[in-house]
Each structure stands twice: as C-alpha cells, then as structure tokens.
Amino acid sequence: MEAVVDIPHKIRVLIADDHRLFGQALEAILATDDRLEVAGHAADGGEAVQLALQLDPDVILMDIAMPIMDGFQATKQIRKQHPHACVLMLTGSNARTDVDRARGAGAAGYVTKDRIAAELIDAILEVVAR
C-alpha cells in the first residue's frame, strides 16, 4: 500500500552509489512517481558530501560501501554540516551492525537493495513527512 503524503513541491533526491547501473535503476524507480525528481548523482562518499551541501536535496539515497569515503562517514559529515538532511542508507546487507551504524551516523532510514523496488518510494515519502 502506497503512503499518502501531501507534498507541496517535488521531492529532490540525491543518489549516492558507486555502481552507475544501479544508480540508473534507482533513477528509473524514482521516475515512476511524479512527486520525486533526481537532483544529482554522486559516485563516491566525498562527492556525496559535496553535492549534498551544494544541491541541498530533500533526501539523499546513500550506499554504504563506496570508495573515497563510505556511506557512514559521508552521512556523518553531511549531518554535521546540514543537521536536517534526510539520508536513507541503501545496502545489500541486512546485518544488525550496519543498521546500528547507519542510525549512529544519523541516517533517517535504511533500505536493503533486495527490497528497493517494493519499498524505496514509500521510504522516501515517510522520511520527508517526519
């Protein structure tokens, strides 16, 4: 069941993932909902921090495992400089330690890559509505 959320503007999403094809798949999923638009793509954690501050997206989809700086470190830096940033961590792992580290870094939520097609849009709408 899709969440019903009244959003006065398009939700701008930054995709931070070092796998180009996966990033394109995320963009295709987001394109199915008129309430969402992709603000940019980051290929590593350092670029994610830079683009998050430059583009000021509503939501950042953050892969955990990336070069330069991992998603945990990037999330901490973004939240330190922009405390209201909404970061959704994306990972192939469902390990409790990763969930705890994501929360500790300041992530607003956590979606495993095997559930992205079913849960991603609702997860974005949920964190924006908070």
Q: At 79, which CATH number? A: 3.40.50.2300
What is the arithmetic mean of pLDDT over 5-28? 86
- pLDDT tens for 100-110 read 889 999 999 88
pLDDT in the model for residue 97: 87
Q: DSSP class of residue 31?
A: T
Whether 3 has a pLDDT exceeding 60, the answer reads: no
| Nearest Cα to Cα of residue 48 among 110, 120, 107 | 107
Looking at the domain assignment, is residue 100 inside a domain? yes
The count of domains in the chain is 1
HSE-CB at 5 with a 13 A cutoff on CA atoms is 21
- Count of residues making up the chain: 130
pLDDT in the model for residue 8: 59
Looking at the domain assignment, is residue 2 inside a domain? no
Looking at the domain assignment, is residue 4 inside a domain? no
* Strands 11-16, 59-63: pairing kind: parallel
> What is the domain extent for residue 86?
11-129
Whether 90 has a pLDDT exceeding 50, the answer reads: yes
| Nearest Cα to Cα of residue 22 among 10, 32, 30, 12 | 30
The band of 1, judged by pLDDT with boundaries at 50, 70 and 90, is very low
Taking the model in full, what pTM does it have?
0.89
State percent of the chain over pLDDT 70: 94
Looking at the domain assignment, is residue 93 inside a domain? yes
Looking at the domain assignment, is residue 60 inside a domain? yes
What is the arithmetic mean of pLDDT over 55-68? 93
Helix 116-129 vs helix 20-30: angle between axes, to the nearest 10 degrees?
Answer: 60
The band of 119, judged by pLDDT with boundaries at 50, 70 and 90, is confident
Looking at the domain assignment, is residue 65 inside a domain? yes
